[in-house]
Amino acid sequence: MNILDANKKILVTGAAGFIGYYLSKRLLDMGCTVVGIDNLNDYYDVNLKYDRLDSLKPYDKFAFFKIDLVDKLEIDRLFVNEKFDIVVNLAAQAGVRYSITNPSAYINSNIIGFFNILEACRNNPVKHLIYASSSSVYGTNKKVPYSIDDKVDNPVSLYAATKKSNELMAHAYSKLYKIPSTGLRFFTVYGPMGRPDMAYFEFTNKLVKGEKIQIFNYGDMKRDFTYIDDIVTGMVNIIAKIPVETEDGAPYKIYNIGNNKPENLLYFVETLEKCLMREGIINHFSEKELLPMQPGDVYQTYADVDDLVRDFSFKPNTSLEEGLSRFAKWYKKKYMNKGDI
């Protein structure tokens, strides 16, 4: 198995984000030098982003720059000055529903921003480019579990379309300029310090306030919830494995990173409530409003992780109850004594 060389200098874009923070911390704990960038936008509470950065600042081998991927001059200057060995692009405009009302944010960050990263890697060669894709690229595919060999030509949101575009752009640059590139299709990542716009976080805020929670498609939805630590372990394994050239001459690879176990949304809410009750955050089950499917949503996500198992002898395995229990403990410590909600 490939082991990540701790002497590498690694750029993590979106370092103040949920996955970017946890990945940066893991890499720093391994002794790597990490340069993080983020535009610190206000899509969700910026204070949470600053909290993540504050916990990275004590590391001697961590440097942070506030840079937007759209700023090509700043990106190019950064690459020239820092001379990265590895680039991990996690910066993106996230959220499926937000893409329906604010499409330009996705074109700027996810398309133009990613193009700037590709160009910087072309002009300042790196050993490996890893970038975030998404399970949303599978759209309304009926066949499950979702395999990286399945067609992904029917996105149901602009967010999904931008992520599929990233895969195509990376493949083209990989083939033309021999940039070793690996795309990661993440499946519903959750955990402490996560994004407040994610369902488990939104539900918790409403449960604490005693508000009714909305559940779409009348509760008949399934998600392959993947705990953040499993995501990061998978990423560290993948970063160390530089893809070989495929039959078409591109050193290019895609992996699913998911729990390989879709959970029913109603069971998910029930498990969350139990974990919150155990921590004394709430004291009763909530009232639920069952609503139709929302535009951009899909019925289920379910990751085929055979490639991950074959290449790394690794498979995400954190149970939903264990992961939500860790989230509940963090939430209690972070919010319950401060009245921040």
Q: Would residue 159 show up in a list of annotated catalytic residues for this protein?
A: yes
In this structure, are residues 167 and 151 in contact, taking their beta carbons and an 8 Å threshold? no
Alpha-carbon distances, residue 182 vs 12, 104, 129, 202, 302 (angstroms)? 14, 26, 6, 31, 20
Please count the CA atoms within 13 angstroms of the CA of 6 that sit on its side-chain side. 6
Catalytic: which of 98, 131, 146, 159?
159
Cβ distance 296 to 156 under 8 Å? yes
Strand partners, 288: 213
Neighbours of 216 (CB within 10 A): 16
Are the beta carbons of 253 and 183 closer than 8 angstroms?
A: yes
Asked if 204 contacts 334 with a C-beta cutoff of 8 angstroms, the reply is no
Q: How far apart are CA 239 and CA 304, in angstroms?
A: 20
Q: What's the CA gap between 216 and 113, in Å, rounded?
A: 32
Q: Does residue 103 have a cis bond before it (omega within 30 degrees)? A: no
Q: How far apart are CA 331 and CA 204, in angstroms?
A: 9
> Is residue 99 within 8 Å of residue 93, measured between CB atoms?
yes
- Tokens standing for residue 129: 């480019």
216 sits in which H/E element: strand 213-216
Question: Which residue is it, tokens 């610190």?
Answer: 40
Q: Which alpha helices (H) appear in the chain, and where do they start and end?
A: 18-29, 46-56, 72-82, 96-101, 103-106, 113-123, 158-177, 199-209, 228-239, 265-278, 306-312, 320-331
Intra-chain end-to-end CA distance of the chain, in Å: 45
- Any idea which residues carry the catalytic annotation? 159
